[in-house]
Every structure is written in C-alpha cells, then in structure tokens.
Amino acid sequence: MHHVDCGFSVLAIYLKKGIPFDVVTFTTPIRGIFTENRVKDAVDFFKKLVREKICEPNEVMYGTVMNGLSKKGHTEKTLSLLRLMEQGNIKPNICNSNIVIDSLCKDRNLDAAISLSNEMNRKGIRSNIITYNSLIDGLFKFGQWEKVRILFSEMVNHNIYPDMHTFNIVIDGLCKEGKVEDAEEVMRHMNEKGVEPNILTYNVIMDGYCLRGQMDRARRIFDFMIDKCIDPDIISYNILINGYCKKKKLDGATQLFREISRRGSKPNIVTYNTILQSLFEVGRIGSAKKFFDEMLSTGLVPDLCIHGTLLNGYFKYGLVDEAMSLFNELERKRGKSDIEFYNVVINGLCKNRKLDKAHAIFEAFFYWTASECENIQYNDKWTLS
C-alpha cells in the first residue's frame, strides 16, 4: 500500500513485545522502501541489519536488495552484491544470478552477461528459462541472430523449452527487423508446441504490419485474435488506429474508434491524440476541434502531447490567435516549466512571420530560466552552509 512508515510502526510494536523475528520480517520493509524509490534508505537499512548482526540475510533478502538496485540502473552495485554473497555463508542461487544477468543485458553489456551465465553454470548454478529469456532479449536488441540460434540450441540440449515470454521476445525482435511474416510463422509454431499466443503476441505482429503500412494484414491478425476469444485491449486499438491514420485512412480509424466503447473498453489520451493529429494533417480543423471537445466531455485531462498537437495544428493553418489564446491559458495553469510549449509556439510564430512576438516570448522564457538558475544556486549554497 506504499505506507512503509506504518509498516515500521508495526515493526516497532513487534520488537517491543518480544515476538520472535526472522529474515522475512526485515525483507518486507526493505522491499517496501525500494517501492517508494528510496534506494539509499533501503541499502542503509540492509547494511545496518548486517553490520549489527540483527539478522542473517538469506537468498531472498539479497535478491530483494539486488532487484531494487537493478531496477534503478545500479548494475555495478548489483554485481558487487553478488560477489559479496559468494564470499559469505549464503551462496547465490539462480534467482540472484538472473537478476544480475538481466541487469547487465538491460545495460547493453551482453558480453559480461553471457560471461556471468557461463561462470554460474561452471559453478553448478544451472541456467533456466529466465536466464535464457534475458540473454535472448538482449541479443535480439543488438541484432545478433547467430548467437540467438546458438542459445536456442543450447536450451534444447539442456531440456529447457521456450515459454510464452521467449516466443514473444523472438516475435518482437523479428517485427522490429521488418520480418513480420517470419514472426507470424513463429506464432504458428507456438500453437504447434501447445503454447497459446497472448494479447501481447498479437499486438506485436499487428504493429509490425502497421509499420509496413499493410493494414489489411494487420486487421486480419486483429480479427483472428477476436476469433480466438481474446478481447483486444486499448493498446490493440491504438496500434490499428495509428496504422490507419498513418495511411490517411481516417474512416477506418474513426470506425475502429467507435467500436472501442461497444466492446467495453475506453479510448485513452493516446487514442484521442492519434486521431487529433491525423485530422489536423488532412486539414479537417472543424472536426479536430469537435473531437477535442468530445474528449473533454469524457473527463479525460489533456496532457502535454494533446496540447502540443493543438498548438501545432493551429499554427500550421495560420490560426495564430487561437494558438496564442491556448498558449496563454496553459502558461497561467502550468507556469513556465515546459520548454516544449515554448519551442512549439516560437516555431509556430516564426513560420507565420510573427518574429517580434516569437522573440518576445523567447526573451521572457530566457530571463525566467536565468533567474530560476540563480535561485537554485543560492538555495544550494544556503543548504550546504
């Protein structure tokens, strides 16, 4: 529930009552501190437990700390903790190793990840499907197809067979390379192996066809998914709508948009922004304004992207007064924190030959930024002193 302070209050009562505690008792608050993004506090608490010998960490506690560090990009510290485990009484297991291997892969340090996997195998900690999935995902992102094939052969030799996640990684990698037919072939292979494709599988293949502008094939996958009794989610709809909009097939996009509610889903900000951009691109200004009003009526709050789309659209068709009216309203509500707004407005004014106004806005933002920097420097000095 993200109420770690309450958790510690219970822990204090727990200890005062003399109720016996174990490693699980302290692993829970460590995990809680990490979920609140307080990495230093979590590590300090862990060190205190070890230093004062309050409890002996086990593989799960080490894994909790390693996972927390890994998710925040502290790969070197995660690896150091693994090495520290190797020197102590509690030796790392495959779960601990997988956390580090996955972190190295996400850090694009594939050689170190493969090296660590081989090292763990030599020490008797055998790789499992999670290990292979992390390595395969990393290799696909680098386009190292030959190494992926070697890993697949190695998996099968060790009687480890691809699971849903493995297939989805492969399909995603193929689609990103433009090999969508091959990805669809892999999906058929999944069915043969008794692994049912999930919504992510279908979404990835649909997106692959949409990126190639093959909307008929994308729609075929969408309909096939429904035939398989898998309800499309809002991501499925957004992928197809974006594909239709890119092909300037607004009728198809609008028809699909109306279908969302009938199937029990709700359009989100991305859905509205995609169609809004497309309406402006084809010059349907009136329709774009009505569509924006429709979005507001649903209770959705416009974000930075929506406002950027409106500003760009107004400036593109010379509606400078409407653009400036929106900009002034946003400035009152949001302050001067979003440089993107200023870039859009300055660019729009320049293209509409309103150079004096553009320069005035630039100067106002420049002087505000300079004064803010001075305040920050002053406050930092005061805090340090």
Cα gap 42→119, rounded to integer Å: 29
Q: Is the pLDDT of residue 382 over 50?
A: no
Q: What is the mean pLDDT of residues 161-166?
A: 91
Per-residue confidence (pLDDT) for residue 164, from 0 to 100: 92
Assess contact for 204 and 175: CB atoms under 8 A. yes
Question: Which tokens hold the place of 283?
Answer: 């010059």
Question: Which tokens hold the place of 108?
Answer: 């694009």
Using CA atoms, how far residue 129 sits from 5, 57, 136, 196, 216, in Å, is 37, 26, 10, 17, 35
Assess contact for 15 and 21: CB atoms under 8 A. yes
Cα gap 306→150, rounded to integer Å: 46
Q: What is the mean pLDDT of residues 173-190?
A: 91
With CA atoms as reference, report the closest residue to 240 among 269, 266, 202, 277.
Answer: 202
Residues in the chain: 385
Cα gap 176→290, rounded to integer Å: 36
Lowest-pLDDT range of 232-236, 249-253, 260-264: 260-264
Q: What is the mean pLDDT of residues 207-230?
A: 94
Could you report the per-residue pLDDT of 171-181, keeping only the tens digit for each?
A: 999 998 889 99
pLDDT band with cut points at 50, 70 and 90 for residue 325: very high
31 Cβ partners below 8 Å, 6+ apart?
64, 68
Q: What is the mean pLDDT of residues 377-385?
A: 36
Cα gap 215→244, rounded to integer Å: 7
Question: Which tokens hold the place of 380?
Answer: 């930092």
Q: Helices 199-211 and 234-246: crossing angle, nearest 10°? A: 10
pLDDT band with cut points at 50, 70 and 90 for residue 368: low
Question: Which tokens hold the place of 220?
Answer: 């075929």
pLDDT band with cut points at 50, 70 and 90 for residue 372: low
Per-residue confidence (pLDDT) for residue 339, from 0 to 100: 78
Sign of the dihedral defined by the CA atoms of residues 98, 99, 101, 102, in that order:
positive
Could you report the per-residue pLDDT of 76-116, keeping only the tens digit for each?
A: 999 999 999 999 888 999 999 999 999 999 999 999 999 99
Cα gap 276→214, rounded to integer Å: 22
Per-residue confidence (pLDDT) for residue 262, from 0 to 100: 84
Sign of the dihedral defined by the CA atoms of residues 298, 306, 304, 330, in that order:
negative
pLDDT band with cut points at 50, 70 and 90 for residue 156: confident
Per-residue confidence (pLDDT) for residue 337, from 0 to 100: 56
pLDDT band with cut points at 50, 70 and 90 for residue 336: low
Identify the residue with better confidence: 149 or 92.
92
Question: pTM of this prediction?
Answer: 0.80
Using CA atoms, how far residue 357 sits from 69, 308, 320, 332, 362, in Å, is 48, 19, 11, 18, 9
The burial class, CB within 10 Å (0-12 / 13-18 / 19+), for 275 is buried
pLDDT band with cut points at 50, 70 and 90 for residue 374: low
Identify the residue with better confidence: 174 or 338.
174
Could you report the per-residue pLDDT of 7-17, keeping only the tens digit for each?
A: 888 888 888 88
Q: Is the pLDDT of residue 309 over 70?
A: yes
With CA atoms as reference, report the closest residue to 110 among 83, 134, 127, 82.
Answer: 134
Cα gap 108→142, rounded to integer Å: 8
Could you report the per-residue pLDDT of 5-44, keeping only the tens digit for each?
A: 898 888 888 888 888 888 998 999 999 999 999 999 999 9
Tell me what the pLDDT averaged over the chain comes to.
89
Assess contact for 78 and 71: CB atoms under 8 A. no
pLDDT band with cut points at 50, 70 and 90 for residue 57: very high
With CA atoms as reference, report the closest residue to 202 among 191, 194, 130.
Answer: 191
Assess contact for 167 and 186: CB atoms under 8 A. yes
The H or E element that residue 357 is part of is: helix 355-384
The burial class, CB within 10 Å (0-12 / 13-18 / 19+), for 228 is exposed
